[in-house]
Structure 1
Amino acid sequence: MVYRLLALDIDGTLLSSNNRLDRQTKDAIQYAQKKGVIVTLVSERHFHSAAKVARALRLTQPIITHNGAFVSSSMDDPVYTSKIDHSVLIQLAEFLETYPCQIQMSHERLSVSNRPHSKNLIAKMTIGMNEPLFYPVTYVDSLSQYLLENYEAATDVKVKMDDKKTADDLEKAISDYFPSLETSRGGSDHLTIVRQGTSKFNGLLFFAGQLGIPLHEIVAVGDGFDDIEMIEKCGLGVAMRNASKEVKAKAEWVTRSNDMDGVAYMVREVFRKQIRVH
């Protein structure tokens, strides 16, 4: 089988546990590119953060960020977006503000959050996003009022609740009242809300379609639950050794862990016998 596209998750996959990009990994990506393979990133990270990794790897193709909601090689010229519409976002903000929670709405340029009741909530929200501290976050007294004054859509909305029961109630309410949205759990008391149909796989599917590359010619590598769909549906799905049992069970191949140069090992093994593609 000839593979023409390599799609890589960032956290827990490309980067080691201490968030370093090792030399072996960089060299392996260059090796794949010399074979004519297109390499892209597929990440939950915000665009600026993922783009920094892409630059370190010398990638020139668009990358899939915000869990598939923003596909682009530059901030100003996306090839694909899947955002929560401004009108829906206002209604969602008004609804969420009736709950005791921390809310963070994001798009490719910045995040906007309601003012937290304690400093601990800021830490929990920031740490939970796996984002560098330089990502700009604007704090406002009322998100709904901010949205009335600023015409913005959002790639995602993260909500931090005080307890699991409140999070359960909120998740059900969003399902009932906002059919254009879907939620996922990032923990017992942490919700992520996106536009219906937004996923890493769908962002990757659009990107591959633009290139005319079918699914069976894609290698997808990841370690998280949000990577499962692309691992299952692409031509070769690879899980990291550090992934959970559920993720590894869906993969065709399990490589070494992210602290044992798992991506570099996989690239050398998969592409060493492949002739250069055009």
Structure 2
Amino acid sequence: MVYRLLALDIDGTLLTNSNKLDRQTKDVIQYARKKGVVVTLVSERHFHSAAKVARSLRLTHPIITHNGAFVSSSMDNPVYTSKIEHSVLLQLVEFLETYPCQIQISHERLSISNRPRQKNLIAKMTIGMNEPLFYPVTYVDTLSQYLLENYESATDVKIKLKDEKVMDDIEQAMGDYFPSLAVSRPSIHDITLVRQGTSKFNGLLFFAGQLGIPLHEIVAVGDGPEDAEMIEKAGLGVAMRNASPDVKAKADWVTRTNEMNGVAYVVREVFRKQLRVH
């Protein structure tokens, strides 16, 4: 089998737990590129942060960011977007403002949040974004007023509240009143909303289609639950050993952990016998 596209998650896959990019990993990415393989990143990170990693790897093709909502090689000319439209976003925010929750709407340029009622919520709202200082967050008194004055869409909306019962009510209401949005619950205190159909896999599928590369010629490597679909459906799906059992069950191959150069190992093994792709 000839593989023409290598799709790599960033956190927990390419990077170590201390957010470092190992020299072996950098070298092996260049090794794959010299074989004529297209290499891209498929990440939950915002475009600013993922593009920084792409530059360090000298990647030239578009990258898939915001969990598949923004596919581009530059800030201004995306090849694919899957965003919550302004009209839906405004209705959503007006609804959420009836609850005492923290709301954060994001797109490729910045994130906007209602002003925290507790000082430590600033840090809590940026947990998981890996480089919060690299991604500007604007705090406003009223998000709905901001949206009335600024015609913007969003790649995602995050909600945070300590009251589990209220969060259960909000999650239920999303399904009843906002069917165009997909709901995930990373924790009992957090809800994430995206446009229906937004996923890493769908972003990757569009990107591969633009290049004329079928699924069976894709190697996809990841570790998180949001990587499971692309791992399961790619021609060769690879899970990191540090992935959860559910993710590893979807994979054709389980490589070493991100702390043990798992990406370098699998790329060498997969591509060492493959001739250069023309």
Same fold (TM over 0.5): yes
Give me the whole-angstrom Cα distance separating, in 2, the residues matched to 1:176 and 1:48: 34
| 1:134-158: CA deviation from partner (whole Å, max 9, x where unpaired) | 2100000010000000000000001
Counterpart residue number, 2:89: 89
| 1:28-72: CA deviation from partner (whole Å, max 9, x where unpaired) | 000000010000000000000000000000000000000000000
Q: SS where residue 194 of structure 2 aligns? A: strand
| 1:236-276: CA deviation from partner (whole Å, max 9, x where unpaired) | 01000111111111111000000000000010011101010
Shift of 1:18: 0.3
Q: Which runs of 5+ in 1 are unaligned?
A: none
Q: SS where residue 191 of structure 2 aligns? A: strand
Query: Are 2:196 and 1:196 equivalent residues in the alignment?
Result: yes
Counterpart residue number, 1:126: 126
Shift of 1:111: 0.3
Shift of 1:189: 1.2
Give me the whole-angstrom Cα distance separating, in 2, the residues matched to 1:97 and 1:194: 18
Matches within 5 A, 1:32-43: 32-43=32-43
Query: Are 2:203 and 1:183 equivalent residues in the alignment?
Result: no
Shift of 1:128: 3.0
Give me the whole-angstrom Cα distance separating, in 1, the residues matched to 2:138 and 2:12: 28
Give me the whole-angstrom Cα distance separating, in 1, the residues matched to 2:185 and 2:27: 35
Give me the whole-angstrom Cα distance separating, in 1, the residues matched to 2:131 and 2:252: 30
Counterpart residue number, 2:263: 263
Is contact 1:34-1:276 (8 Å) kept? yes
TM-score by length of 2: 0.99
| 1:152-199: CA deviation from partner (whole Å, max 9, x where unpaired) | 000000111113222221111011100111111121211110001000
Give me the whole-angstrom Cα distance separating, in 2, the residues matched to 1:276 and 1:269: 15
Amino acid at match of 2:142: S
Q: How many residue pairs were aligned?
A: 278
Is contact 1:100-1:162 (8 Å) kept? no
Give me the whole-angstrom Cα distance separating, in 2, the residues matched to 1:167 and 1:131: 27
Amino acid at match of 2:260: M
Q: SS where residue 133 of structure 1 aligns? A: helix
Runs of 4+ displaced beyond 3 Å: none
Shift of 1:99: 1.1
Q: Which runs of 5+ in 2 are unaligned?
A: none
Counterpart residue number, 1:31: 31
Amino acid at match of 2:16: S
Is contact 2:48-2:134 (8 Å) kept? no
Query: Are 2:44 and 1:50 equivalent residues in the alignment?
Result: no
Give me the whole-angstrom Cα distance separating, in 2, the residues matched to 1:161 and 1:116: 11
Amino acid at match of 1:103: I
Counterpart residue number, 1:170: 170
Is contact 1:83-1:155 (8 Å) kept? yes
Counterpart residue number, 1:158: 158
Amino acid at match of 1:121: L
Give me the whole-angstrom Cα distance separating, in 2, the residues matched to 1:233 and 1:131: 30
TM-score by length of 1: 0.99
Q: SS where residue 92 of structure 2 aligns? A: helix
Give me the whole-angstrom Cα distance separating, in 2, the residues matched to 1:16 and 1:133: 20
Give me the whole-angstrom Cα distance separating, in 1, the residues matched to 2:143 and 2:204: 31
Is contact 1:45-1:131 (8 Å) kept? no
Give me the whole-angstrom Cα distance separating, in 1, the residues matched to 2:20 and 2:165: 37
The worse-fitting range, judged by mean Cα deviation, of 93-102 and 126-135 is 126-135
Counterpart residue number, 2:14: 14
Give me the whole-angstrom Cα distance separating, in 1, the residues matched to 2:59 and 2:132: 20
Q: SS where residue 263 of structure 1 aligns? A: helix
Counterpart residue number, 1:241: 241
